[in-house]
């Protein structure tokens, strides 16, 4: 997905992806996000971009039960998500963060640190491009990434591992909650009863 937010840099990102895909015999389809979806006054840019790409992901998934979308979120993204959700006052479901697998959406790198991915790329001569906007703190996520989390990690080097462990526990709890809700909804549909104590 090319959002066209960084002009020539965005186009160079697209060119790299297309070149790598073709060199490896992989079909690639590029979607260009219309300017009016991301640059109008009052628009939440990140939310608009997320909505645009999700629409295309869901269209791909709907074409076949064998289609999956593999996303590149890594452990650092997951920790940032935890603190963003904490900042917003989220509960169990928000603080649990992203799921490694949810239907046909797969995130295989959620337990892999960004530094490990970079080390792998360097060692194996995998070319990549860095979005320069990641280095600014204009967005709340970037503020956590560039300033707040590094400051916390100075005094607590195990911060990321501790947060990731806690998030795994919360996701397990989500499964339990969903199962109980499923059981109660079945009882409601079959008997027209809902036990308030259990709820």
Tell me which of 37-46, 103-112, 173-182 is least confident: 37-46
Q: Where are the alpha helices (DSSP H) in the chain?
A: 8-23, 35-38, 45-63, 75-87, 92-95, 114-123, 140-143, 149-155, 159-191
In this structure, the number of other CB atoms found within 10 A of the CB of residue 125 comes to 6
Asked if the model's pLDDT at residue 100 lies above 90, the reply is: yes
Asked if the model's pLDDT at residue 101 lies above 90, the reply is: yes
Digit-coded pLDDT (tens) for 134-160: 888 888 999 999 999 999 999 999 999
What pLDDT does residue 88 have?
95
Query: Do you know the residue count of the chain?
Result: 199
Q: How confident is the model at residue 91 (pLDDT cuts 50, 70, 90)?
A: very high
Q: How confident is the model at residue 184 (pLDDT cuts 50, 70, 90)?
A: confident
Q: How confident is the model at residue 63 (pLDDT cuts 50, 70, 90)?
A: very high
pTM of the predicted protein model = 0.86
Asked if the model's pLDDT at residue 47 lies above 90, the reply is: no
If you average pLDDT over residues 52-68, what whole number do you get? 94
Instruction: Name which residue leads in pLDDT, 145 or 197.
Output: 145
Q: How confident is the model at residue 85 (pLDDT cuts 50, 70, 90)?
A: very high
Q: Give CA–CA dist 111/75, Å, rounded.
A: 5
Q: How confident is the model at residue 188 (pLDDT cuts 50, 70, 90)?
A: confident
Asked if the model's pLDDT at residue 171 lies above 80, the reply is: yes
Q: How confident is the model at residue 119 (pLDDT cuts 50, 70, 90)?
A: very high
Q: Give CA–CA dist 185/102, Å, rounded.
A: 21
């Amino acid at each position: 997905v090319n959002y066209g937010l960084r002009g020539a840099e965005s186009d160079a990102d697209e060119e790299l992806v297309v070149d790598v895909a073709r060199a490896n015999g992989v079909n690639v389809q590029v979607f260009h996000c219309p300017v009016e979806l991301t640059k109008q006054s009052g628009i939440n840019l990140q939310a608009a971009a997320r909505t645009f790409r999700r629409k295309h992901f869901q269209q791909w998934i709907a074409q076949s039960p064998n289609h999956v979308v593999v996303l590149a979120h890594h452990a650092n993204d997951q920790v940032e998500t935890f603190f963003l959700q904490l900042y917003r006052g989220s509960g169990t479901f928000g603080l649990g963060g992203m799921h490694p697998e949810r239907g046909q959406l797969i995130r295989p790198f959620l337990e892999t640190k960004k530094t490990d991915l970079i080390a792998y790329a360097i060692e194996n001569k995998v070319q990549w491009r860095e979005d320069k906007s990641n280095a600014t703190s204009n967005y709340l996520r970037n503020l956590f990434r560039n300033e707040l989390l590094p400051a916390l990690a100075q005094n607590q080097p195990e911060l990321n591992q501790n947060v990731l462990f806690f998030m795994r526990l919360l996701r397990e709890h989500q499964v339990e909650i969903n199962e109980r809700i499923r059981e109660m909804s079945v009882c409601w549909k079959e008997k027209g009863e809902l036990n308030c104590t259990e709820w």
